[in-house]
């Protein structure tokens, strides 16, 4: 398929991999930030082509994985209400809350629907004026503009029966939180290409300079990832720590400015808990003052619901790159995609799920 097959070319992949072997002289730990990249790495077996000296650490970039337990519990409580149509992206349905998941709420009669765009939820609200339609706004900067547009349109249409349970998170604060941890082993980053299509990559320059860490904005196909790794290793081997853009066919330095404007209009930056990691300051998006009437948490009185994460699962350590999925005693035994204990087993982009699907020997 055009624009995909070119980036999955086996011979070119081997060629870039040989170049990585040639330039690598020392061990390096590189984190791919985005879950989509983790998925591609294990799906295509990209890490098998890399030198043993290079360790890829799977980052916290799966929005499904990092959605905190308490917001999932809030979602479950809202979705179980009789007059509610609860809409969500598909893979949030299987994420376990404290006691159950959205699929089970649906099985018991809750009106839970998968949508492909937040705007479909707005359409549902228009078509069902007697129902409350709630959209579960999850994701990084990539999906935030579409969620913002849904709220913006609902406001313009003066829809009183549409609201948003928002759990959007921001990537750069999470990268900084990881880098400032005393246990940090990360020496270079593949930054999430799709986040950067929206946000650009200006904000990475101070991070790279402060922590002396190379950051390469990277795409999602095998050749993208291999080239991203090569660019990080070239920087590391020559003692540089700059910001580079591998994904130039999609990402501009300044990003998508109309999208950023819309995010600023509808949202404000708030502290946010990350499942498995804990609270990170300035790392989430909440509705701005002008749009608080669309806050589902407040509308349904569930915003004050707080829950602690279960101790059993090591997904926090996996997300931080301190452990590999198979180092968990529950991995593949008590914890599987059908019965996930933690966030990283839930989404197909989660590190544990990716290992379970492609690596369970």
Partner 1 sequence: MEQNNQFARSCPIPIQQYPHVLLAHGGGGRLMHQLISKMFLASFRNPLLETQHDSTVVEWTGKKLAFTTDSYVVRPLFFPGGDVGSMAVHGTVNDLAMSGARPLYLSAAFIIEEGLPMETLWKIACSMSEAATRCGIQIITGDTKVVDKGKGDGVFVNTAGIGIVEHDRKIAPQNVRPGDAVLVSGDLGRHGMAIMAVREGLQFESAIESDSAPVHDLVLELLKAGIEIHCLRDLTRGGLASALNEIAEAARVRIEIVEKSVPVREDVHAACEMLGLDPLHVACEGRFVAFVAAGDADRALAIMRGHALGAGSAAIGRVAESSAPLVTLKSAIGASRILAMPSGEQLPRIC
Helices 257-266 and 144-156: crossing angle in degrees, nearest 10, is 60
361 forms part of the interface with partner 1 (CB under 8 A): yes
Whole-angstrom distance, CA of residue 340 vs CA of residue 96:
7
* Cβ atoms of 95 and 124 closer than 8 Å: no
Minimal distance, residue 349 CB to partner 1, in Å: 7
43 forms part of the interface with partner 1 (CB under 8 A): yes
Half-sphere exposure of 121 (CA within 13 A, CB side): 35
1 forms part of the interface with partner 1 (CB under 8 A): yes
Q: Which of 33, 85, 92, 186 binds partner 1 (CB under 8 A)?
A: 92
Q: Which is nearer to partner 1, 138 or 154 (CB)?
A: 138
Query: How do strand 243-245 and strand 162-169 relate by DSSP bridges?
Result: unpaired
Minimal distance, residue 209 CB to partner 1, in Å: 29
* Cβ atoms of 216 and 192 closer than 8 Å: no
Residues 237-276 as x/- pattern, contact with partner 1 by CB under 8 A: ----------------------------------------
Residue 262 pairs with which residues in a beta bridge? none
322 forms part of the interface with partner 1 (CB under 8 A): no
339 forms part of the interface with partner 1 (CB under 8 A): yes
Minimal distance, residue 63 CB to partner 1, in Å: 6
Half-sphere exposure of 208 (CA within 13 A, CB side): 22
Neighbour-count burial of 55, counting CB atoms closer than 10 A to its CB (0-12 exposed, 13-18 middle, 19+ buried): middle
143 forms part of the interface with partner 1 (CB under 8 A): yes
Whole-angstrom distance, CA of residue 11 vs CA of residue 15:
6
356 forms part of the interface with partner 1 (CB under 8 A): yes
137 forms part of the interface with partner 1 (CB under 8 A): no
347 forms part of the interface with partner 1 (CB under 8 A): yes
348 forms part of the interface with partner 1 (CB under 8 A): yes
Minimal distance, residue 210 CB to partner 1, in Å: 28
Q: Which of 51, 242, 332, 337 binds partner 1 (CB under 8 A)?
A: 337
Whole-angstrom distance, CA of residue 15 vs CA of residue 60:
29
Q: Which of 20, 38, 44, 125 binds partner 1 (CB under 8 A)?
A: 44
Which strands form 162-169's sheet, in the order they lie side by side?
111-114, 84-88, 132-139, 162-169, 278-287, 267-274
Sign of the torsion angle spanned by Cα atoms 184, 186, 187, 191: negative
Helix ranges, 180-272 (H): 193-199, 204-211, 222-237, 257-266
Q: Which of 194, 273, 275, 299 binds partner 1 (CB under 8 A)?
A: 194
Q: Which is nearer to partner 1, 3 or 308 (CB)?
A: 3
From the list 46-54, 125-133, 265-273, 322-330, the region that binds partner 1 by CB under 8 A is 46-54
The secondary structure of residue 337, as a DSSP letter, is S
Residues that bind partner 1 (CB under 8 A): 1, 4, 8-10, 13-14, 36, 42-46, 48-49, 63-64, 89-94, 103-104, 106-108, 114, 116, 138-140, 142-143, 194, 222, 337-339, 347-349, 356-361
């Amino acid at each position: 398929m055009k624009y995909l097959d070119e980036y999955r070319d086996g011979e070119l992949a081997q060629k870039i991999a040989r170049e990585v072997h040639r330039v690598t002289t020392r061990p390096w730990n590189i984190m791919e930030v985005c879950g989509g990249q983790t998925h591609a790495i294990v799906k295509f077996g990209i890490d098998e082509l890399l030198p043993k000296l290079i360790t890829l650490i799977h980052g916290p970039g799966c929005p499904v994985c990092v959605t905190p337990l308490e917001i999932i519990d809030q979602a479950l409580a809202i979705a179980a209400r009789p007059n509610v149509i609860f809409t969500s992206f598909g893979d949030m349905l299987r994420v376990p809350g404290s006691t159950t998941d959205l699929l089970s709420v649906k099985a018991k009669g809750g009106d839970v629907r998968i949508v492909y765009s937040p705007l479909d939820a707005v359409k549902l609200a228009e078509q069902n004026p007697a129902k409350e339609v709630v959209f579960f706004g999850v994701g990084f900067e990539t999906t935030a503009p579409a969620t913002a547009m849904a709220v913006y349109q609902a406001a313009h249409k003066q829809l009183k029966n549409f609201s948003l349970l928002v759990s959007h998170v921001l990537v750069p604060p999470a990268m900084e939180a990881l880098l400032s941890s005393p246990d940090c082993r990360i020496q270079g980053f593949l930054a999430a290409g799709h986040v950067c299509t929206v946000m650009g990559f200006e904000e990475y320059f101070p991070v790279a300079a402060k922590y002396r860490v190379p950051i390469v904005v990277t795409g999602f196909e095998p050749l993208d990832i291999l080239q991203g790794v090569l660019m990080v290793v070239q920087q590391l081997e020559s003692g540089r720590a700059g910001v580079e853009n591998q994904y130039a066919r999609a990402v501009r330095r300044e990003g998508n400015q109309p999208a950023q404007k819309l995010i600023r209009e509808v949202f404000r930056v708030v502290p946010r808990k990350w499942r498995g990691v804990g609270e990170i300051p300035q790392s989430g998006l909440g509705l701005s003052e002008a749009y608080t009437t669309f806050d589902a948490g407040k509308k349904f009185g569930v915003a004050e619901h707080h829950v602690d994460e279960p101790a059993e699962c090591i997904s926090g350590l996996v997300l931080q790159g301190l452990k590999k999925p198979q180092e968990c005693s529950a991995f593949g035994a008590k914890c599987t995609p059908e019965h996930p204990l933690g966030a990283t087993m839930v989404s197909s982009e989660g590190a544990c799920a990716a290992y379970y699907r492609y690596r369970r020997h």
